[in-house]
Amino acid sequence: MSRSSIKAFAPATVANVSCGFDVLGFAVENPGDEVEIELTTKPGIEITSILGDKGKLPTDPKLNSASVSIQSYFDYIGYNDGIKMILNKKMPISSGMGSSAASSVAGVFAINEILNNPLNKKDLLKFALQGEKIACGSAHADNAAASLLGGFILVRSYDPLDIVSLEYPKDLIVIVIHPQLKIDTKAARKLISSNIKLNSAVSQLGNIAGLISGLSQKDYNLISRSLIDVIAEPKRSKLITGYQEIKKTAIDFGAIGCGISGSGPSIYALSTNLKKAENIAFEMKNKFKSFDIDSNYYVSKINDTGAKIINK
Ligand code: HSE
């Protein structure tokens, strides 16, 4: 059945997952962004409104991550009519939860669906990356791939783009806590040297392999031992007030691991038990409070669906 308007949801994500800078990520159940699209005969993309961003995001379609992604999709498939688009930001911006990726993914997923899926889901990733490029200055795929496909993903290669969906224990519970701090991904990326020492690379490689192995074997001890980041965390943690104390709180209250979510300031922790996870989140929030920082948290399983249509 063809229709003239559609609404899609794409979830927030935790990128890097400590040891996997730019190559590991997973999706959470909530929050996430919604994009509503209406087909028009007037060529071009018109952003009718952006909700929930407190006026912070560009409404110029050449600068907004969702419309830039959709335009690159149009260029690829040769679509010459137009659309009106509403972006509903249901998650914080510059939070380290993959906000720009969620908008881009919801946009390309919605347009592909309303045009009766000329491309398959996985093929939409390259367009969402154009949105990441405009928003963060780099086309990293860890957030966008996880938001699009759901689950726990590995970016095996960027050129050619090769995304692998990883096995993971289905009872894993994720805590993501977002403090009222802002970190610009572009700036946070500049903190990381492009020259990595051999011993750091060896440590990171061992931990990535350990984490993937632990996830597939449901070996929580191995997962826990592998959630170590010697590349990004030492630089970026300085941008998050109280980071070491909050991480220690999460571990003290039973988290199997904890680290910076994406480029921060959000922090993620993993647990195997919902009740324990709620308690860890509560204690992390209290710890932020002791630094005079308000925060809000989300506790959920890993989202194994990714982007979806919500007005069927
Ligand atoms: N992998 C990216 C980074 C994620 O760490 O810069 C940004 O959210």
- What pLDDT, on a 0 to 100 scale, did the predictor assign at position 2? 60
| Residue nearest atom 8 in ligand 1 by C-alpha distance | 262
Report pLDDT for 152. Answer: 98
Is the pLDDT reported for residue 272 higher than 80? yes
The CA 15 to ligand 1 mean position distance, Å, reads 6
**Does the bond joining 118 to the residue before it have cis omega, within 30 degrees of 0?**
no
pTM for the whole thing? 0.96
Query: For the domain 173-301, what is the CATH code?
Result: 3.30.70.890
Domain ranges of the chain: 5-166, 173-301
pLDDT band at 4 (very low <50, low <70, confident <90, very high): confident
Give the number of other CB atoms < 10 A from CB of residue 5. Answer: 14
Q: Whose CA is nearest to atom 7 of ligand 1?
A: 262
Query: Do 5-166 and 173-301 share a fold?
Result: no
DSSP state of 167: P
Query: Tens digit of pLDDT for each residue in 37-84?
Result: 999 999 999 999 999 988 899 999 999 999 999 999 999 999 999 999
Choose the residue to mutate in 24, 91, 143, 233 for probing ligand 1, maximizing ligand atoms within 8 Å of C-beta.
143
Does residue 111 have a pLDDT over 70? yes
Binding-site residues, ligand 1, Cβ < 6 A: 15-16, 21-22, 96, 98, 140, 142-143, 185, 188-189, 232, 262-263
Q: What pLDDT is attached to residue 1?
A: 47
Multiple choice CATH, 5-166, 3.40.50.20, 3.30.450.40, 1.20.1090.10, 3.30.230.10 = 3.30.230.10
- Chain-wide mean pLDDT for the chain? 96
Question: Which residues have a catalytic role annotated?
Answer: 132, 185
Distance (Å) from CA 14 to ligand 1 centroid: 9
Q: How far apart are CA 155 and CA 80, in angstroms?
A: 32
Calculate the alpha carbon distances from 22 to 80, 100, 117, 241 in Å.
34, 15, 28, 23
Residues facing residue 271 across a β-bridge = 173
pLDDT digits (tens, 9 = 90+) for 156-177: 999 999 999 999 999 999 999 9
Q: Hunting for tokens 């912070």 — which residue is that?
A: 56
